[in-house]
């Protein structure tokens, strides 16, 4: 006579519950739902309670990832505004960091920027080889900045070919020379941020500047080139130059003028913060400002680009893909192809249990016949 299959049925029911139980048992992936940053600009909101974390995926082994942050602050503040870090884990900050330092007393809407880079001179350093990094934007020190709109700017730079770094030429420090304004300045509506800054060519431009705010224009600067920016029409005007990812690029400055460094890959090997924006060719952002207590003014901004690309142009290696990163990463760790999916665990268990149950029934169904045969054979 068949024995009851109650224990087997209970085991089968438990295994069928695995699709529900397994997700709770598998380890959770930290920050699996963090947004992914790709090259370009990304609108974010500055955090208010806890740092905001973003994924940064490398597409070529050995590439350098540059990240910049800008936002228009609340003003009337001092000290460190926001810290930007890059690491191999969400808690790591060892691959690059930057911070907004200011005083902005009396400035109603200051443009605040910082930048960080993963560049390292160690070929096998994890910061230069791992496929996935994490960018963290800290909580602003001024509560009035929390929740404000901000922008992250990302650029991925290909790796250098072998020995290329040692072959690059160290440029000479540029010396300031006054720029002759053109006979007639072209009116231009300057932007207030890098996002709305008009891109111009070398020449003279008529720019309207409001006190306590920045008037911003962009101009391309290539390898081995430098930029001179001069303001005429106000003795109180200040001039600052930022690089493509918003790092400072100021070799010298004085009231109404600023001189950039000669663009060189080698600047990234310096601890001088004024060279942070000088190690990449590309857009330069010229910021013209007036003190908060000054009167609005229309000034002439004259821009001159010196030099031409030569020995300082980096010899980039042909990028080899570091993998095919997924464009849609889920917070559920079971979405990983290498991990067993709970539904298949349950289905597999069902198949095994059904096979076992059928085998047991067949086995038990034959036992009386086999026992009878043995009896008859005595």
For the stretch 345-369, pLDDT in tens is 444 444 444 444 444 444 444 433 3
CA separation for the pair 36, 33 (Å, rounded) = 9
For residues 284 and 219, give the distance between their C-alpha atoms in angstroms, rounded to a whole number: 5
Q: How confident is the model over 340-347, as a mean pLDDT? A: 41
Nearest to 63 by CA among 94, 33, 39: 39
- Do 277 and 243 meet the contact criterion of CB atoms below 8 Å apart? yes
CB neighbour list of residue 246: distance below 8 Å, 6 or more residues apart: 68, 69, 70, 113, 114, 115, 153, 194, 277, 285
| pLDDT higher at 22 or 7 | 7
Residue 22's pLDDT is 42
Lowest mean pLDDT across 128-137, 155-164, 169-178, 307-316: 155-164
pLDDT at position 320 over 50? no
4 pLDDT tier (thresholds 50, 70, 90): low
Taking residues 197-212, what's their average pLDDT? 97
The residue-averaged pLDDT of 157-179 equals 87
Query: Domain residue spans in the chain?
Result: 6-28+340-371, 38-162, 169-313
Mean pLDDT of 104-113: 84
pLDDT digits (tens, 9 = 90+) for 255-282: 999 999 999 999 998 889 899 999 999 9
Lowest mean pLDDT among 83-97, 180-194, 213-227, 320-334: 320-334
Average pLDDT over residues 66-76: 91
What's the pLDDT at 168?
85
Fold match, 38-162 / 169-313? yes
Please spell the DSSP secondary structure of 295-358, one letter per residue.
PPEEEEEEEEEE----TTS--BPPPPB-----SS--S-GGGSTTSPPHHHHHHHHHHHHHHHHH
Q: What is the pLDDT of residue 56?
A: 97
pLDDT at position 31 is: 64
* pLDDT band, very low/low/confident/very high, at 238 (cuts 50, 70, 90): very high
The CATH fold of domain 169-313: Jelly Rolls (2.60.120)
pTM value is 0.76
Question: What is the CATH code for 38-162?
Answer: 2.60.120.380
Q: Does residue 82 contact residue 140 with C-beta atoms inside 8 Å?
A: yes
What are 42-70's pLDDT values in tens digits? 999 999 999 999 999 999 989 999 999 99
Pair 69, 151: CB distance under 8 Å: yes
At 227, is the secondary structure helix, strand, or coil?
A: strand
Dihedral sign for Cα atoms in the order 172, 176, 180, 181: positive
């Amino acid at each position: 006579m068949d024995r009851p299959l109650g224990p087997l049925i209970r085991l089968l029911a438990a295994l069928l519950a695995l699709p529900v139980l397994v997700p709770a048992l598998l380890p959770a992936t930290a920050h699996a739902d963090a947004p992914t940053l790709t090259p370009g600009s990304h609108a974010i909101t500055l955090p208010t309670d806890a740092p905001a974390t973003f994924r940064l995926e490398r597409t070529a082994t050995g590439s350098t990832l540059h990240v910049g942050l800008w936002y228009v602050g609340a003003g009337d503040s001092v000290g460190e505004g926001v810290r930007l870090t890059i690491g191999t884990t969400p808690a790591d900050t060892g691959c690059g960091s930057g911070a907004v330092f200011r005083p902005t007393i009396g400035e109603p809407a200051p443009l605040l920027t910082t930048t960080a880079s993963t560049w390292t001179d160690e070929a096998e350093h994890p910061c230069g080889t791992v496929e996935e990094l994490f960018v963290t934007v800290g909580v602003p020190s001024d509560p009035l900045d929390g929740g404000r709109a901000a922008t992250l700017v990302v650029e991925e730079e290909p790796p250098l070919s072998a020995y290329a770094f040692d072959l690059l030429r160290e440029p000479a420090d540029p010396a300031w020379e006054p720029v002759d304004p053109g006979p007639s300045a072209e009116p231009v509506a300057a932007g207030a941020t890098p996002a709305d800054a008009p891109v111009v060519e070398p020449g003279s431009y008529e720019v309207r500047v409001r006190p306590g705010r920045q008037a911003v224009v962009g101009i391309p600067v290539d390898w081995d080139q430098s930029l001179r920016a001069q303001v005429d029409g106000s003795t109180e005007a200040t001039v600052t130059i930022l690089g493509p990812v918003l790092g400072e690029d100021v070799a010298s400055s004085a009231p109404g003028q600023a001189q950039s460094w000669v663009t060189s890959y080698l600047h990234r090997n310096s601890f001088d913060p004024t060279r942070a924006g000088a190690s990449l060719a590309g857009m330069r952002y010229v910021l013209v400002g007036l003190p908060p207590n000054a009167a609005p003014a229309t000034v002439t901004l004259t821009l001159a680009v010196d030099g031409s690309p030569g020995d300082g142009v980096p010899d980039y290696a042909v990028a080899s893909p570091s993998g095919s990163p997924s464009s849609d990463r889920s917070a559920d760790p079971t979405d990983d192809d290498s991990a067993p999916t709970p539904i298949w665990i349950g289905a597999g268990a069902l198949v095994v249990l059904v096979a076992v149950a059928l085998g047991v029934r067949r086995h038990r169904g034959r036992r009386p016949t086999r026992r009878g045969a043995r009896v008859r054979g005595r």
